[in-house]
Amino acid sequence: PGGLGTLEELAEVLSWAQLGLHDKPVALLDPVGYWADLRSFLERAVVEGFLARPDLERLIVATDLHSLLGRLAL
């Protein structure tokens, strides 16, 4: 599922979107809930005012590939 390199790359791509360098969604396939705690952390960052809700909404997390692809197609 990924380690520090994956985490760094995810943060980088989300940061690029925040800076306006791209306007694409960022997706994580998470069939066993590995990234659930990160999602919770980011939700708290929104609540605490450190992250804007639209920036978090760029991150799509799904537990199965069919669902993930469906959400990307929207």
As averages over each run of 10 residues, the pLDDT of the chain (74 residues) reads 89 96 94 94 98 95 95 85
Question: What's residue 1's pLDDT?
Answer: 67
Question: What's residue 55's pLDDT?
Answer: 94
pTM value?
A: 0.84
What burial class does residue 3 get, using C-beta atoms within 10 Å of its C-beta: 0-12 exposed, 13-18 middle, 19+ buried?
exposed
E strand spans, the chain: 26-29, 59-62
Rounded-to-integer distance, Cα 71 and Cα 5, Å: 25
Q: How far is CA 33 from the centre of its chain?
A: 13
